[in-house]
Protein backbone atom coordinates (compact mmCIF):
# COMPACT_ATOMS: atom_id res chain seq x y z
CA UNK A 1 0.00 0.00 0.00
CA UNK A 2 1.37 3.38 -1.00
CA UNK A 3 2.27 5.72 1.84
CA UNK A 4 3.22 9.34 1.31
CA UNK A 5 5.05 11.46 3.85
CA UNK A 6 5.67 15.18 3.68
CA UNK A 7 8.31 16.95 5.69
CA UNK A 8 8.21 19.40 7.34
CA UNK A 9 4.60 19.53 8.51
CA UNK A 10 4.89 23.30 8.89
CA UNK A 11 7.39 25.89 7.78
CA UNK A 12 7.64 29.60 8.46
CA UNK A 13 10.11 31.71 6.50
CA UNK A 14 10.77 35.40 5.85
CA UNK A 15 9.84 36.83 2.50
CA UNK A 16 12.46 36.38 -0.20
CA UNK A 17 13.87 33.14 1.13
CA UNK A 18 14.30 30.10 -1.08
CA UNK A 19 12.81 26.93 0.38
CA UNK A 20 12.40 23.22 -0.22
CA UNK A 21 9.44 21.02 0.62
CA UNK A 22 9.89 17.27 0.71
CA UNK A 23 7.66 14.37 -0.29
CA UNK A 24 8.58 10.71 0.06
CA UNK A 25 6.63 7.65 -1.03
CA UNK A 26 7.00 3.95 -0.33
CA UNK A 27 6.05 2.38 -3.68
CA UNK A 28 8.29 3.65 -6.46
CA UNK A 29 6.13 2.07 -9.20
CA UNK A 30 4.31 5.32 -9.89
CA UNK A 31 3.04 6.81 -13.11
CA UNK A 32 3.39 10.40 -12.04
CA UNK A 33 3.51 12.73 -9.06
CA UNK A 34 1.63 15.93 -8.59
CA UNK A 35 2.14 18.93 -6.35
CA UNK A 36 -0.83 21.03 -5.25
CA UNK A 37 -1.46 24.03 -3.08
CA UNK A 38 -4.51 24.48 -0.92
CA UNK A 39 -5.57 27.84 0.43
CA UNK A 40 -7.74 27.91 3.58
CA UNK A 41 -11.34 27.02 2.80
CA UNK A 42 -10.54 26.36 -0.84
CA UNK A 43 -10.01 23.44 -3.14
CA UNK A 44 -6.66 22.24 -4.40
CA UNK A 45 -4.82 23.94 -7.25
CA UNK A 46 -2.45 21.87 -9.33
CA UNK A 47 1.05 23.32 -9.41
CA UNK A 48 3.20 20.77 -11.20
CA UNK A 49 2.77 17.32 -12.65
CA UNK A 50 5.89 15.20 -13.13
CA UNK A 51 5.70 12.06 -15.22
CA UNK A 52 7.69 9.06 -14.01
CA UNK A 53 10.06 9.44 -16.96
CA UNK A 54 10.90 13.02 -16.01
CA UNK A 55 13.39 14.26 -13.44
CA UNK A 56 11.95 17.71 -12.92
CA UNK A 57 9.37 20.26 -13.94
CA UNK A 58 9.46 24.02 -13.65
CA UNK A 59 6.76 26.65 -13.54
CA UNK A 60 7.80 30.19 -12.76
CA UNK A 61 9.41 30.25 -9.31
CA UNK A 62 8.52 26.61 -8.68
CA UNK A 63 10.67 23.63 -9.51
CA UNK A 64 9.71 20.07 -8.68
CA UNK A 65 12.09 17.15 -8.90
CA UNK A 66 11.41 13.44 -8.86
CA UNK A 67 13.71 10.57 -7.92
CA UNK A 68 11.61 7.46 -8.39
CA UNK A 69 14.27 5.02 -7.31
CA UNK A 70 14.62 6.62 -3.90
CA UNK A 71 10.93 7.45 -3.59
CA UNK A 72 11.43 11.18 -3.20
CA UNK A 73 10.25 14.43 -4.66
CA UNK A 74 11.06 17.99 -3.73
CA UNK A 75 9.28 21.24 -4.44
CA UNK A 76 11.63 24.20 -4.58
CA UNK A 77 10.15 27.67 -4.23
CA UNK A 78 12.44 30.52 -5.15
CA UNK A 79 12.21 34.03 -3.71
CA UNK A 80 9.16 33.23 -1.58
CA UNK A 81 6.35 35.76 -1.26
CA UNK A 82 3.56 36.18 1.31
CA UNK A 83 1.13 35.04 -1.40
CA UNK A 84 2.86 31.66 -1.39
CA UNK A 85 1.43 31.00 2.09
CA UNK A 86 -0.73 27.90 1.79
CA UNK A 87 -0.65 24.18 2.41
CA UNK A 88 1.34 22.26 -0.17
CA UNK A 89 0.43 18.65 -0.92
CA UNK A 90 1.93 15.96 -3.07
CA UNK A 91 -0.01 13.03 -4.52
CA UNK A 92 1.28 9.90 -6.21
CA UNK A 93 0.07 6.82 -7.97
CA UNK A 94 -2.99 5.81 -9.91
CA UNK A 95 -5.01 5.88 -6.70
CA UNK A 96 -3.69 9.37 -5.96
CA UNK A 97 -2.44 8.89 -2.44
CA UNK A 98 -1.89 12.25 -0.78
CA UNK A 99 0.61 13.27 1.85
CA UNK A 100 -0.57 15.24 4.85
CA UNK A 101 0.85 18.44 3.47
CA UNK A 102 3.28 21.14 4.51
CA UNK A 103 1.75 24.31 5.85
CA UNK A 104 3.89 27.19 4.59
CA UNK A 105 3.82 30.69 6.01
CA UNK A 106 5.85 33.41 4.33
CA UNK A 107 6.21 36.43 6.57
CA UNK A 108 6.47 39.93 5.06
CA UNK B 1 -16.83 29.60 -15.94
CA UNK B 2 -15.93 27.37 -13.03
CA UNK B 3 -14.14 24.24 -14.28
CA UNK B 4 -15.29 21.89 -11.50
CA UNK B 5 -18.31 23.03 -9.54
CA UNK B 6 -19.87 21.43 -6.50
CA UNK B 7 -23.15 22.12 -4.79
CA UNK B 8 -23.94 22.79 -2.06
CA UNK B 9 -20.86 24.44 -0.63
CA UNK B 10 -22.13 24.02 2.92
CA UNK B 11 -24.48 21.39 4.27
CA UNK B 12 -25.65 21.08 7.87
CA UNK B 13 -27.93 18.19 8.71
CA UNK B 14 -29.03 15.84 11.46
CA UNK B 15 -27.78 12.33 12.05
CA UNK B 16 -29.77 9.74 10.18
CA UNK B 17 -30.70 12.00 7.29
CA UNK B 18 -29.89 11.32 3.63
CA UNK B 19 -28.11 13.99 1.60
CA UNK B 20 -26.56 14.46 -1.83
CA UNK B 21 -23.70 16.52 -3.18
CA UNK B 22 -23.56 17.29 -6.86
CA UNK B 23 -20.50 17.81 -9.04
CA UNK B 24 -20.14 18.96 -12.61
CA UNK B 25 -17.06 19.58 -14.75
CA UNK B 26 -16.94 21.48 -18.02
CA UNK B 27 -13.38 20.50 -18.94
CA UNK B 28 -14.31 17.56 -21.14
CA UNK B 29 -12.42 15.18 -18.85
CA UNK B 30 -13.10 11.46 -18.84
CA UNK B 31 -12.45 10.84 -15.17
CA UNK B 32 -14.00 12.21 -12.02
CA UNK B 33 -13.28 11.62 -8.35
CA UNK B 34 -14.62 12.12 -4.87
CA UNK B 35 -12.21 12.83 -2.04
CA UNK B 36 -12.85 13.26 1.66
CA UNK B 37 -10.79 15.69 3.74
CA UNK B 38 -11.12 15.06 7.43
CA UNK B 39 -10.66 17.45 10.34
CA UNK B 40 -6.91 16.83 10.27
CA UNK B 41 -6.87 17.98 6.65
CA UNK B 42 -5.95 14.53 5.38
CA UNK B 43 -7.25 13.89 1.86
CA UNK B 44 -8.35 10.41 0.93
CA UNK B 45 -9.81 9.15 -2.32
CA UNK B 46 -13.26 7.62 -2.07
CA UNK B 47 -14.38 6.89 -5.63
CA UNK B 48 -13.29 7.38 -9.19
CA UNK B 49 -15.34 7.09 -12.36
CA UNK B 50 -14.03 6.90 -15.92
CA UNK B 51 -16.63 7.55 -18.60
CA UNK B 52 -19.44 6.74 -16.18
CA UNK B 53 -17.81 3.50 -15.02
CA UNK B 54 -16.61 2.97 -11.48
CA UNK B 55 -12.87 2.31 -11.45
CA UNK B 56 -11.80 3.09 -7.90
CA UNK B 57 -13.87 2.22 -4.88
CA UNK B 58 -11.92 2.59 -1.68
CA UNK B 59 -13.05 1.11 1.59
CA UNK B 60 -16.02 3.38 2.03
CA UNK B 61 -19.24 2.46 3.91
CA UNK B 62 -21.95 1.43 1.50
CA UNK B 63 -24.03 4.31 2.85
CA UNK B 64 -22.03 6.30 0.31
CA UNK B 65 -23.21 5.81 -3.25
CA UNK B 66 -21.74 7.69 -6.19
CA UNK B 67 -23.73 8.15 -9.36
CA UNK B 68 -22.45 9.31 -12.72
CA UNK B 69 -25.29 10.04 -15.18
CA UNK B 70 -22.74 11.18 -17.77
CA UNK B 71 -19.02 11.81 -17.82
CA UNK B 72 -19.47 15.47 -16.89
CA UNK B 73 -21.33 14.72 -13.67
CA UNK B 74 -20.52 12.72 -10.56
CA UNK B 75 -22.89 12.98 -7.63
CA UNK B 76 -22.43 11.61 -4.14
CA UNK B 77 -25.38 10.38 -2.13
CA UNK B 78 -25.01 9.59 1.55
CA UNK B 79 -27.61 7.62 3.48
CA UNK B 80 -28.15 7.52 7.22
CA UNK B 81 -25.60 10.21 7.98
CA UNK B 82 -23.35 9.74 11.01
CA UNK B 83 -21.32 12.20 13.05
CA UNK B 84 -18.11 10.80 11.58
CA UNK B 85 -19.24 11.76 8.10
CA UNK B 86 -18.59 15.40 8.93
CA UNK B 87 -15.81 16.51 6.59
CA UNK B 88 -15.12 18.47 3.47
CA UNK B 89 -15.86 16.50 0.32
CA UNK B 90 -13.97 17.41 -2.82
CA UNK B 91 -14.84 16.54 -6.36
CA UNK B 92 -12.07 16.46 -8.98
CA UNK B 93 -11.62 15.59 -12.62
CA UNK B 94 -8.69 14.66 -14.85
CA UNK B 95 -8.13 14.04 -18.56
CA UNK B 96 -7.59 10.28 -18.33
CA UNK B 97 -7.26 7.49 -15.85
CA UNK B 98 -6.74 3.78 -15.52
CA UNK B 99 -3.96 1.59 -14.32
CA UNK B 100 -1.47 3.92 -15.93
CA UNK B 101 -2.34 6.79 -13.67
CA UNK B 102 -4.01 10.13 -13.98
CA UNK B 103 -3.52 13.36 -15.79
CA UNK B 104 -3.53 16.71 -14.07
CA UNK B 105 -6.27 16.94 -11.48
CA UNK B 106 -8.65 19.85 -11.21
CA UNK B 107 -10.52 20.21 -7.93
CA UNK B 108 -13.78 21.80 -6.98
CA UNK B 109 -14.00 24.20 -4.04
CA UNK B 110 -15.32 21.53 -1.70
CA UNK B 111 -18.57 20.85 0.12
CA UNK B 112 -18.39 21.14 3.89
CA UNK B 113 -20.74 18.64 5.48
CA UNK B 114 -21.59 19.00 9.17
CA UNK B 115 -23.64 16.27 10.81
CA UNK B 116 -25.22 17.23 14.14
pLDDT in tens, A5-52: 999 999 999 999 999 999 999 988 888 899 999 998 888 999 999 988
Contact yes or no for A96 and B98 at CB 8 A = no
Spell out which residues of chain B touch residue A35, defining contact as CB-CB under 8 Å. Answer: none
pLDDT, tens only, A43-92: 899 999 998 888 999 999 999 999 999 999 999 999 999 999 999 999 99
Q: What is the pLDDT of residue B103?
A: 77
* Contact indicator for A103, A21 with CB cutoff of 8 Å: no
pLDDT, tens only, B57-81: 887 899 999 999 998 999 999 999 9
Distance of CA B44 to the CA centre of its chain: 11
Q: What is the pLDDT of residue B40?
A: 80
Mutate to test the interface with A, among B89, B100, B101, B109 (most CBs of A within 10 A): B101
The rounded distance, in Å, linking the Cα atoms of A102 and A11 is 7
Q: Which residue of B has its CA nearest to A88?
A: B41
Gyration radius of chain A's alpha carbons: 13
Q: What is the pLDDT of residue A83?
A: 96
Contact yes or no for B45 and A36 at CB 8 A = no
Q: Does A49 touch chain B (CB under 8 A)?
A: yes
Contact yes or no for B109 and A42 at CB 8 A = yes
Q: Which pLDDT band, with edges at 50, 70 and 90, does B20 fall under? A: very high
Contact yes or no for B107 and A97 at CB 8 A = no
The rounded distance, in Å, linking the Cα atoms of A35 and A88 is 7
- Which of B56, B98, B104 has the CB atom closest to A46's CB atom? B104
Alpha-carbon gap: B47 to the closest alpha carbon of chain A (Å): 9
* Percent of chain B clearing pLDDT 90 (strictly above): 68
Q: What is the pLDDT of residue B1?
A: 66
Spell out which residues of chain B touch residue A49, defining contact as CB-CB under 8 Å. Answer: 103-104
Q: What is the pLDDT of residue A80?
A: 97
Amino acid sequence: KQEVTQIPAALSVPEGENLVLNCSFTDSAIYNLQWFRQDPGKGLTSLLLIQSSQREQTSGRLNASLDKSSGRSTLYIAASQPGDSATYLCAVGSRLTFGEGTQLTVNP
Amino acid sequence: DTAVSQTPKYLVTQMGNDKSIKCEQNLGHDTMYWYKQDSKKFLKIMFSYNNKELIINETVPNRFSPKSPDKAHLNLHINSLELGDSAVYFCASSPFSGAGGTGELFFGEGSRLTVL
